[in-house]
Amino acid sequence: MADVDLLVAGAGGGLAGALRAAERGLQVVVAEANPHFRRGNNTAMSTAMIPGPGSRFQRAAGVEDSQERFLADVAAKTRGEADPVVAKTLAGVGAEVVEWLADHVGLPVELAAVDYPGHSVRRCHTLPGHHGSTLLRGLADAVEASSSIDLLVPARLTGLEPVPVSSDGAPRSERQEWRVTLTRPDGGSEQLTAAAVLLATNGYGASPELVGRHLPEIAGAAYHGSEYSTGDALRLGGELGAATGFLDAYQGHAGLSAAARTLVTWTTVMAGGIVVDADGRRFGDETVGYSEYAAMLAARPGARGWAVFDARIDAATQGFTDYRDVVEAGAVRWGATVPELADRIGVDPAVLEEEIADAAAVARGEVVADRVGRRSVTAPLEAPYAAVGIVPALFHTQGGLAVDADARVLDPAGRPLGSLHASGGAAVGMSGHGAAGYLAGNGLLPALGLAYRAADHVASAASTHPVRKVHA
């Protein structure tokens, strides 16, 4: 008899799986290695954007969307390389998840009034402040209030062994339990048995060795994620013979403030701002996406540049907690004229004037596309002008253990490894290869959506025998 129905390793998006499992009558243990996970994991550091095609929030806003439209956007952004099973699964569950977050978890979900690269309609749902700390706090508070969930912190999942529960049950059948080893920072460990396990330990962004092996183009950039994302799921899954996929996929960001080390939201760009390198030159169409722009910026002289915008965009971006942090850190430089701003950021004023004028011509409809191919500029930049120094960053990896539509981890032959599941950065995502396939929100959607699907599968497959309650 197992000690617990479901062991969730990771207190980020995996908390959604814990809550969903508890809602469906299961006893759950969540083990988290980071004692400061509420402010230090990738969910907390996100912008809390979750695609939910076809949600009631979209309908209330008059936005027409569908799973098929979202899948078409994913196919276009990834050039058809996204994992088809994961993409279809998440397109189907996105609206259900955002509505569940509102109705069951009690979060103040709203439709983000922001256009993001690659999304043909507004489908990203978020929370006031557009910051993941609010999302994580809501999930963690709900977990701590549940009598069916025990939260073990700090405790890292270090061992995972399948144990058949009957003489005729094979280790890879659903008729098994898992002998789980949890290790504390002081070296002490404990074991328990779980009927099912969900690996929600994120990816490998904090492992320089793995990043250098799989993501050499971004290996020299800043890492802006949890220090505990060291590839635990890859190690544990590998020991069990799990298949992996899309290990070269990642979300980058070209808008990390060099001074504040917080995010300059890409809303500054989508509202009409531009990005220039250390010489004041633009080097691409900024609207293609902030993820691929990270590697592009990393390849420029000095691997740094400037986000250039104006007072209109500054006012429109104040609703983002990350941007307010940038402002409060004194990272925004202002100039009453373009030459004054150019002097403030150390670039040739004639070059900066030319770049701003080039984009303004698109905004005024004088040209279809500017020199770098940008076809959409909301409005010309007007004085006073602002700039924030930016550096490229790796936010999180997008590849991992191969999973099916129920988030079950698969072996190389496509067979489930029993009741082992994976979500978020621990699993293959829906971004295809590299950085260019990433769409806003397609990090949180696999984190929450696959955890939610895993919980539903575990609940549906659960036996009727009772489990022993494990107390923190």
Condensed to tens digits (0 to 9), the pLDDT of residues 4-16 reads 999 999 999 999 9
Q: Which residues pair with 178 in a beta bridge?
A: 162, 194
Q: Model confidence over 324-353: pLDDT tens digits?
A: 999 999 999 999 999 999 999 999 999 999
Residue 468 pLDDT level (bands cut at 50, 70, 90): very low
Q: Model confidence over 380-393: pLDDT tens digits?
A: 999 999 999 999 99
Dihedral sign for Cα atoms in the order 249, 82, 101, 465: negative
Q: Model confidence over 349-388: pLDDT tens digits?
A: 999 999 999 999 999 999 999 999 999 999 999 999 999 9
Average pLDDT, the chain: 94
Residue scoring higher pLDDT (407 or 165): 407
pTM across the whole model: 0.92
* Mean pLDDT of the 37-53 span: 93
φ/ψ region of 289 (left if φ > 0, alpha if ψ in -120 to 50, else beta) reads left
What pLDDT is recorded for position 104?
A: 97
R_g of the chain, CA atoms, integer Å? 23
Residue 175 pLDDT level (bands cut at 50, 70, 90): low
Q: Is the pLDDT of residue 170 over 50?
A: no
Q: Model confidence over 240-257: pLDDT tens digits?
A: 999 999 999 999 999 999
Q: Is the pLDDT of residue 469 over 80?
A: no
Residue scoring higher pLDDT (169 or 261): 261
Quote the tokens at residue 332: 């925004």
What pLDDT is recorded for position 463?
A: 55
Q: Is the pLDDT of residue 167 over 90?
A: no
pLDDT above 70 covers a percentage of the chain that reads 96
Identify the CA nearest to 425 among candidates 265, 239, 215: 215
Give the chain's domains with CATH numbers: 4-207+398-461 (3.50.50.60), 251-394 (3.90.700.10)
What pLDDT is recorded for position 39?
A: 84
Q: Is the pLDDT of residue 176 over 90?
A: no
What pLDDT is recorded for position 166?
A: 62
What pLDDT is recorded for position 458?
A: 97
Q: Is the pLDDT of residue 174 over 60?
A: no
* Mean pLDDT of the 201-228 span: 96
* Mean pLDDT of the 432-442 span: 95
